Each structure stands twice: as C-alpha cells, then as structure tokens.
Chains A and B, each alone.
Chain A
Amino acid sequence: KQEVTQIPAALSVPEGENLVLNCSFTDSAIYNLQWFRQDPGKGLTSLLLIQSSQREQTSGRLNASLDKSSGRSTLYIAASQPGDSATYLCAGGGSQGNLIFGKGTKLSVKP
C-alpha cells in the first residue's frame, strides 16, 4: 500500500529565502507525482504534475523533481514571498489518477 510522507511538517523562513520541501513514497510504481497548495479553509490548487516518465517540472519560481528509484520528490521554491505561506501537499498517483496524499508541510514566510 502506497504511503506518502512529507518532511518537515512545518517550516518558517524569512522572505527571500530559497527553500526545499521533501516528499517520500513507499511504492516506486507511482504513475505521477503532484504538488498542491492549500490555503486555510480552501480547496487544493495544483502546482505541478510530474508524469512517471518525467524527472522534473518547472513553473515560475517553483521546481519539482521526481526520483522514482529512491522514492523521493522535492519542491523547490525560489525567492520565497509572504504570499507563498500555505500548506503544501504532495500526492502519488495511481494508474487511474486517484491520489495518495502526504500530510503536508505548513510553510510560513515572514516579511
């Protein structure tokens, strides 16, 4: 059974700092890896989707990597801003798209 773990559970950084969020999964047979952002009381917003055949995806200040062999993904955020404060969730995808989520990393970027 797929299990997804995110470290750290919470992170506080000063504005402008570059940071890395970590995600690990137990079953390397995932079909994709997705990163989401969740603001308090809100639904999830998709940030990046890495298909199983890909190694990384980039969008603006965000870069996500996927290493299936080691069961790891990272989300890199460059030049963090207070508006980046949210909970970041990673999820491993099954063959039909159903997602197994980690518990998330709560990020706080201080002005």
Chain B
Amino acid sequence: GAGVSQTPSNKVTEKGKYVELRCDPISGHTALYWYRQSLGQGPEFLIYFQGTGAADDSGLPNDRFFAVRPEGSVSTLKIQRTERGDSAVYLCASSLNGGTGVRTDTQYFGPGTRLTVL
C-alpha cells in the first residue's frame, strides 16, 4: 500500500517568506508526527497529532511554527517569517494509534521535505 508522502520534496525560499509543507499519512493512521532533521543530527520532534487535535506541540521552536490537521488525515506544517536557521529536512511520520503508555505503534516516515532558506 501507499506509504507516507510529503510535498514538496524540495523548497527554496527567501528569508522572511511564508512556507507550507504537506504530509499525507498512511490511510487509517490516527497518529501523525512532525520532526525536523538538521545535517549530521538525528530528527528532532516538533508536534504530534492524534486525530484532528495537536496532542503535544512541545517541540515547536517558537510561534512562527504552526501545524494543522483539520480532517484527521492530511497535515500542513506552516512556517511564518522564515529564517536561515529553519533550513533543514522536515520529516512526517504516521502510526496506527500512536502511543497509549502501554503500547506504542511503529512510526512510518515519509521521504521528507528539504527546506532551504536563503
């Protein structure tokens, strides 16, 4: 079946601009996660959705970053007034039910969106 897809695969923008990154999770997966990965680093957690609601947004670095998942499927990560330090690969992952504290489902990752802020 289809995996997690992300669009665009590459995005180049100028400092100060607004960007939107899209994630299409695996069909039927209720949990959706956003991470970002800088060169030479492991992915860094940004935000977790369970259904339509953001269950944990503690990883968002500041209020320029915002994410939505209005219908519980596709999610969009929005970055306002982009800065050069926002340049990274933004990864999206989905899992069947997320975590319950007792059991956690495997996360399936998309190929990522490489964001470059000039």
Q: Are A4 and B55 in contact (CB under 8 A)?
A: no
Q: Are B48 and A98 in contact (CB under 8 A)?
A: yes
Q: Are A96 and B98 in contact (CB under 8 A)?
A: yes
Q: Are A101 and B91 in contact (CB under 8 A)?
A: no
List the B residue with the shortest CB-CB distance to A104. Answer: B42
Q: With a CB–CB cut-off of 8 A, which chain A residues contact B111?
A: 42-43
Chain A 89-106 interface 0/1 with B at a Cβ cutoff of 8 Å (1 = within): 101011111111111100
Q: How far is the CB of B89 from chain A (nearest CB, A)?
A: 9
Tell me which of B42, B44, B55, B111 has the highest count of chain A C-beta atoms within 10 A of its own C-beta: B42
CA distance A88 to B15 in the complex (A): 33
Q: Are A96 and B50 in contact (CB under 8 A)?
A: yes
Cβ < 8 Å to A, chain B residues 39-71: 40-45, 48, 50, 55-56, 59
Q: With a CB–CB cut-off of 8 A, which chain B residues contact A96?
A: 31, 48, 50, 55-56, 98-99, 101
Q: Interface size of A by Cβ–Cβ distance < 8 Å?
A: 27
Asked if B25 is at the interface (CB within 8 A of a chain A CB), the reply is no
CA distance A99 to B107 in the complex (A): 9
Tell me which of A32, A94, A99, A100 has the highest count of chain B C-beta atoms within 10 A of its own C-beta: A99
* B interface residues, Cβ below 8 angstroms from A: 4, 31, 33, 35, 40-45, 48, 50, 55-56, 59, 91, 93, 95, 98-112
13 contacts between A and B (CB under 8 A): A31-B99, A32-B99, A32-B104, A34-B107, A36-B109, A42-B112, A89-B43, A94-B56, A97-B105, A99-B35, A99-B43, A99-B107, A103-B42
